[in-house]
Amino acid sequence: MSDTYGTYDPADRPGRKAATPQDQPKLVDEDGTELPPFDERHTESFTGLMYIGALTESFPWLGHNFVIRTLGVDEQLAVAQVTKQYEGTGGGEQLAYATAVVAMATVSVDGEELPTPIAEDGKLAEWAHRRFAYVKANWFSYAIHEVFQRYLQLEDKAAQVVAAMGKAFGPTDSTPG
């Protein structure tokens, strides 16, 4: 299993230098005393979240290599739109949600991306419906369950990074301005 960072930041343009932990300013408190550095276990992950916008994980499962990534807000809202027709169906609602998340979070399987509509017109909801329909029609629930569990673990890692950053910077009594 390896963690890398996706290129899902709209500001990620050719020729733009990606920020690195070395580019991060030193932390100092109000009297100029240098604070301890951020926990190194999360520095790389936080840099990925902060500047690139997505954590990505590659993992093998049953002879196949999957690459998944965390979802942005637009994609999470598209999942809600895709699964709306399954609301109130009990187990169907949960399976539809997991299937939609997997469809949106899967970058590739064995180096191949999921089918993408040819005439991409920028409408995320339509694109999400097509990906959902593909995964729903072609993947068995075992694969959906495994990828969904890995996605939840990746989201948990992202939450841990954010929590660790909150602890590193500490609370403030007021917000300037």
- 6-56 pLDDT tens trace: 444 333 323 334 444 455 555 555 677 675 555 565 566 666 555 544 688
pLDDT of amino acid 6: 47
Percent helix, percent strand, percent coil in the chain, to nearest 5: 50, 15, 35
- The per-residue pLDDT for 64 is 94
**How big is the CA angle at 112 (ends 110 and 115), to the nearest 5 degrees?**
135
Largest Cα–Cα distance of the chain, in whole Å?
Answer: 61
| Cα atoms in the 13 Å half-sphere on the side-chain side of 140 | 1
What pLDDT, on the 0 to 100 scale, is given for residue 61? 94
Task: Please state, rounded to an integer, the average pLDDT across all residues of the chain.
Answer: 75
pLDDT at 53: 45
pTM: 0.68
Sign of CA dihedral 111, 101, 52, 34: negative
Is 84's pLDDT higher than 80? yes
